[in-house]
Structure 1
Amino acid sequence: MKPLLITVGSRGDVQPYLALAKGLLAAGHQPVVAAPRRFQPLAAAHGIDCVPLNDEMLDLQDLAKGKGARAAMAAARSVKPLVRRVLDDEAELAHRDADVVLYHPKSLGGPYVAEKLGVPAIAGLLLPLYVPTAAFASPILPVRLPRALNRASWRTSSVIEMPYRGLIRTWRAEALGMTGGFRPVADVARRGAVLHAWSAHLLPAPADWPDSARPTGFWSMPAAVDWAPPERLARFLEEGEQPVYIGFGSAVGRDPRALTATVLEAVRLAGKRAVLATGWGGLRPGTEPDGVLVVEDVPHDWLLPRMAMAVHHGGIGTVAAALRAGVPQAVRPFIGDQPFWAARLHRLGVAAAPLGGRLTPARLAAALDQAARLAPAARTLAGRMAEEDGIATAIARLESAPGAAKSD
């Protein structure tokens, strides 16, 4: 096969696609990944052919880093011209030789590139988004609904693209030369094929999903066993008991400094050591108190197995890394699907009760104590997940997609 994988967003959106591409290479296929330009070095390190996409949106997010939710919202208002530039880069992909397109919904243009190429389009989903079920409501819904409305709630999947629908329609006509038969991304994905890239041990397929929607397992890069930590991190880990990992990734609260103060006081109250990951500004410590180390970018697959537990925002990338590491979790969700995963982890018995609402040092300290008691359950679940091979399962389904494979 010559699969074309299109993804945009943060590292959590890109790395699973690179992991799948690495697996496709090992299986004898010829994958190409189109991803934001800043991830080219990561792709190159794994021998993956990567086409750079405009990443000015990530630059804009970097400018808002550490400045709180108001700055993040102001940056969002400047996004539409940048979306068009990404789409224009994606239009160039329609000149490549590919026989299947796997796309992240955030790419917006993925299914139309496949349409122009005349090849199957498959949505590669890191969370439940388009296949409706009566078993639970759409994870991106911000409110809880009566169970009877679960299936209807899945219509909200279109909100991801809705602000850009006119822009996408215009781009499809101008850049791809296709003026008729436009269908929104949500409709294309809902009627087409999907690959659900999470573990069935985290969230099994409900009974009303077709077999094709069964989760494959996570798409994970091999552990970074050769990664060498900075000396100060290595020394910190050797100096005392296992610390708590605390990081909120790309989530940005209203007041990063207040959140940091809350976290530091909770760590003190709980009598824990901690590694604080600053991420995109969710945490902005001015100093390092005793027993606390501040880091910016450390591979989760290296760091989390060395932690006593993980405190995070509930992004699926961090959820997956903590599950694989076998560490208990405490989740302070912010937006989107994060409350869904926080509740799911708690229900599985590997995370403290979700820390929604107003976060106080006492509440977080209590969650740390609760999570510590869940360590045996977290290790057991990690052992079960280790038996899955999400990449092999995804490749097998790609190979069986109608029209996806070409014989030599």
Structure 2
Amino acid sequence: MRPLLITVGSRGDVQPYLALALGLRAAGHRPLLAAPRRFAPLAAAHGVEFAPLNDEMLGLQDTVRGQGVRAAITAARSVKPMLRRMLDDQAALTAEPADVVIYHPKSLGGPSIAEKLGVPALAGLLVPLYLPTAAFPSPILPFRVPRGLNRASWRISGAVEAPYRRTVRGWRADKLGLRGTPRPVTALVEAGDVLHAWSPHLLPAPADWPAAARPTGFWSLPTGDWTPPERLARFLDDGDPPVYVGFGSSAGGDPGTLTATVLEAVRLTGRRAVLSTGWGALRPEGEPDGVLVIEEAPHEWLFPRVAVAVHHGGIGTVAAALRAGVPQVVRPFLGDQPFWAGHLHRLGVAPAPVTGRLTPDLLATAIEAAIPLAPAAVGLAARVTAEDGVATAIARITS
């Protein structure tokens, strides 16, 4: 088969699709991964055929992060032209045949590309977004609702696409020769054209979901033979397992204050720590005793070597920590992060989410509360790592 995989967004949106591409290639297929061009080196490192997509929107996010509301509003005016250029890059993918399209809904163009090629399309969802259930509210709902309104809360998913429908409709006509607006992703997912890429041990399929919607398990990259920088390897060898702190691309708008809070919390615990600056959520000006600052390291390699993982609750980081068997402390910022933070707490591998105004005492207390949860985290890891989410997804793709 010639599967076409289309995803956009941060590394957390791209890496699972890369893992799926690797699995497809190992199974004898010829996958093509289309993703923001900044991830071309990552794909090349794994030998995966790659089609670059315009990534100006990621650059825009980098520019305005932490600059305040006015900068964000000004930047928003540039989004639609950037979106159109990203869609134009996707249109170029129709120059060659494909047998199936697996797309991230953020790409917006996936269903239309499949329609143009005349092949099936499957939404590859890293979080539950489009299939209503009475079991829990939509993970992206920014407030709590009574249980009786759980199913109704999922209407918010359709609203996410609304601001872009006119742009997508014009692009379909201009670049693909297709008339009208594509079917909403909600309708496609409800028809069963979906792959849910998380572990059923984290979130099992609710009873009111069809069998086709059962989660496959995480799409995780193999750990490989990554060699750490000497300073990281030496730091890990020089003492007890440290606390990991990293918030990826999430931040509360003031990286300096967040960094100071984290460093003071670490000092209060008396523990060593590895701080990952990621996309700038943390901006330390130096390295206090017992603290090592890195830009990033593969979670699959690093997390088995730490005592606690403190993070924002993005599903990619959640998955890596679950597989590593490390207890977690989650400081959620937005989107689906509070949803996963609550689930981890209920599973007994994380203390209650750290919400509200973050203080050093609050974070230090949460870190200490996470330490005794290590046995539960190790037990859950044994079940999660026994799954092969990529193989399960491939079986559905090729059936």
TM-score after normalising by structure 2:
0.97
Find the aligned partners of 2:178 and 2:168 in 1 and give their Cα distance.
11
**Corresponding residue for residue 331 of structure 1:** 330
Cα RMSD (Å) of the superposition?
Answer: 1.4
Deviation (angstroms), 1:37: 0.8
In structure 2, do the counterparts of structure 1 residues 339 and 70 end up closer, same or farther at CA, with 3 Å as the change threshold?
farther
Q: Is the contact made by 1:2 and 1:98 (CA closer than 8 Å) also made in structure 2?
A: yes
* Residue deviations 1:65-90 (CA, integer Å, cap 9, x gap): 56567655653442111111000001
Structure 2 Cα separation of the partners of residues 114 and 375 of structure 1? 45
Q: Say which SS state the counterpart of residue 124 (structure 1) adopts.
A: strand
1:89 pairs with 2:89: yes
For residues 285 and 343 of structure 1, what CA distance do their matches in structure 2 show? 29
Q: d(CA) in 2 for partners of 1:379 and 1:199? A: 15
Per mean C-alpha deviation after superposition, the further-off stretch among 231-240 and 196-205 is 231-240
Structure 1 unaligned blocks of 5 or more: 401-408
**Aligned equivalents of 2:117, 2:181: Cα separation in 1:** 15
Cα gap change, 1:74 to 1:381, in 2 (>3 Å): farther
Matching residue of 1:366: 365
- The secondary structure found in structure 2 opposite 1:102 is strand
Change (3 A) 1:70 1:292: farther
Task: Quote the residue 2:206 is aligned against.
Answer: 206
C-alpha separation in 1, matches of 2:227 and 2:241: 18
Structure 2 gaps, min length 5: none
Look up the match of 2:347.
348
CA distance in 2, matches of 1:294, 1:164: 39
> Is 1:244–2:237 an aligned residue pair?
no
Using a 3 Å threshold, how does the CA distance of structure 1 residues 378 and 70 change in structure 2: closer, same or farther? farther
- SS class of match (2:275): strand
Q: Distance in 1 between matches of 2:335 and 2:248?
A: 14
Q: Distance in 2 between matches of 1:92 and 1:313?
A: 35
- Tell me the distance in 2 between the aligned counterparts of 1:222 and 1:236: 24
Residue 62 of structure 1 deviates from its aligned partner by 2.5
SS of equivalent residue, structure 1 residue 82? helix
Q: Secondary structure at the match of 2:16?
A: helix
CA contact (8 A) 1:66 1:281 kept: no
CA displacement at 1:31 relative to structure 2? 0.9
Residues 74 and 295 of structure 1: CA distance in aligned 2, closer, same or farther (over 3 Å): farther
**2:130 — aligned with what?**
130
Matches within 5 A, 1:148-187: 148-180=148-180, 182-187=182-187
Alignment-mate amino acid for residue 91 of structure 1: A
In structure 2, do the counterparts of structure 1 residues 65 and 298 end up closer, same or farther at CA, with 3 Å as the change threshold? farther
Q: Quote the residue 1:40 is aligned against.
A: 40
Classify the secondary structure of the residue corresponding to 2:365: helix
Give the Cα–Cα distance (whole angstroms) in 1 for the partners of residues 270 and 78 of structure 2. 44
Per the alignment, residue 382 of structure 1 pairs with 381
Displacement after TM superposition at 1:230 (Å)? 1.3
The offset of 1:194, in angstroms, is: 0.4
Change in Cα spacing, 1:97 to 1:212, as seen in structure 2 (3 Å) is same
1:109 to 2:105 alignment: no
Bigger mean CA deviation after superposition, 64-73 or 367-376: 64-73
Report what 2:356 is aligned to.
357
Indicate how the Cα distance of structure 1 residues 11 and 352 shifts in structure 2: closer, same or farther if over 3 A, else same: same
Q: Tell me the matched-pair count.
A: 399
Over residues 308-352 of structure 1, what are the superposed CA-to-partner deviations in whole Å (9 max), with x where a residue is unaligned? Answer: 110000000000011111100000000000000000000000011
- CA offset at residue 154 of structure 1? 1.0
| Number of the residue aligned with 1:221 | 221
**Structure 2 residue identity aligned to 1:27:** A
Higher relative contact order (CA 8 A, sep 6+): 1
- Assess, with a 3 A threshold, how the Cα gap between structure 1 residues 206 and 147 changes in structure 2: closer, same or farther: same
Rounded to whole Å, the distance in 2 between the matches of 1:327 and 1:289 is 24
Residues 359, 164 of structure 1: CA spacing in aligned structure 2 closer, same or farther, 3 A cutoff?
same
Letter in 1 for 2:359: T
Q: What is the rounded CA distance, in whole Å, between the counterparts of 2:14 and 2:288 in structure 1? A: 34
Separation in structure 1 between the aligned mates of residue 306 and residue 72 of structure 2, nearest angstrom: 30
CA contact (8 A) 1:69 1:252 kept: no
Partner of residue 390, structure 2: 391
Percent of paired sites with the same residue: 71
Contact residue 304 and residue 327 of structure 1 kept, 8 A:
yes
2-structure distance, mates of 1:154, 1:63: 32
Q: Which amino acid aligns with 1:346?
A: H
Amino acid at match of 1:95: A
* Secondary structure of the corresponding residue to residue 43 of structure 1: helix
Q: Which amino acid aligns with 1:50?
A: F
Shift in Å, 1:382 = 0.4
Equivalent pair of 1:140/1:337 in contact (CA under 8 Å): yes
The residue aligned with 1:310 is 309
Q: Output one character per residue of 1:38-80: Cα deviation in whole Å (capped at 9) or x when no partner.
A: 1112112222111111111122222235656765565344211
Residue 375 of structure 1 and its aligned partner are, at CA, apart by: 0.5
Please state how far the C-alpha of 1:36 moved relative to its aligned partner: 0.8
Range with greater deviation from structure 2 (152-161 or 80-89) = 152-161
